[in-house]
Amino acid sequence: MCGGREGGGGGGVLVGGGEKGVKGGEKGVKGGGKGVKGGEKGVKGGEKGVKGGEKGVKGGGKGVKGGGKGVKGGEKGVKGGGKGVKGGEKGVKGGEKGVKGGGKGVKGGEKGVKGGEKGVKGGEKGVKGGGKGVKGGGKGVKGGEKGVKGGEKGVKGGGKGVKGGGKGVKGGEKGVKGGEKGVKGGEKGVKGGGKGVKGGEKGVKGGGEGCEGWRGGCEGWREGCGGWREG
């Protein structure tokens, strides 16, 4: 009977709170060294983790938070999903598509959250530097070919970007500010004449085709611009 008690005690230690147990172990799912929640580079709160990292995911098309298969709460997410971290169909640690190291796992998988081919950070189409990533990709948010900032058609400085592109929002060929058919001025502009930026038919500020003026001049003197005489 004493031997039975001692054995029972040992069993209890293994089942709950063991060295590498399911909850709280050294590399466990919750709170371990590189675990899913709170680890060194874990999914939530790690050095470069999915949520709150140095250059985190925030704002991607299919971002880390709330996506179909996102890190937190997705269909197969880290916490509470079909094959989730805690109590899933295929166990807490080391399953085929488990939390750590699996094919499409949370960390390091083929399409994982961190470093995968199409991962959240650095993948081909990742959030940072990918082909269509959020920052610096071909069509990324910042600096890509059609990126948000500086791309050919980006938001800032691209061909049709928001700021300075060909048809950009600010300063482009047909931009919002200063373009041929900008937002403020053009033929069908918000305020002004034909195709001007601010004013006349094609002028900057004023009537017919003049820059300052009234009929056809630029400075308001020759050809009746100033409204006095021809020349």
The model carries a pTM of: 0.09
> Please, is 163 exposed, middle or buried when counting C-beta atoms within 10 Å of its C-beta (0-12, 13-18, 19+)?
buried
pLDDT tens for the 231 residues of the chain, in order = 444 444 333 344 444 333 444 443 334 444 333 444 433 344 443 334 444 333 434 443 333 443 334 344 333 434 433 333 433 333 344 333 434 433 343 443 333 344 333 334 433 333 343 333 344 333 334 433 333 333 333 333 333 334 433 343 444 334 334 334 434 433 333 343 334 344 434 434 434 443 444 444 444 444 444 455 444
102-107 long-range contacts, CB within 8 A, separation 24+:
104/69, 106/36, 106/43, 106/71, 106/78, 107/34, 107/36, 107/41, 107/42, 107/43
What totals of helices (H) and strands (E) does the chain contain, helices first?
Answer: 1, 0
* Residues 59/65, Cβ–Cβ less than 8 Å: no
Q: Mark residue 24 as left, alpha or beta (left: phi above 0; alpha: psi -120 to 50; beta: remaining).
A: left
- H helix intervals, the chain: 2-15
Residue-range domain boundaries for the chain:
151-183, 193-231
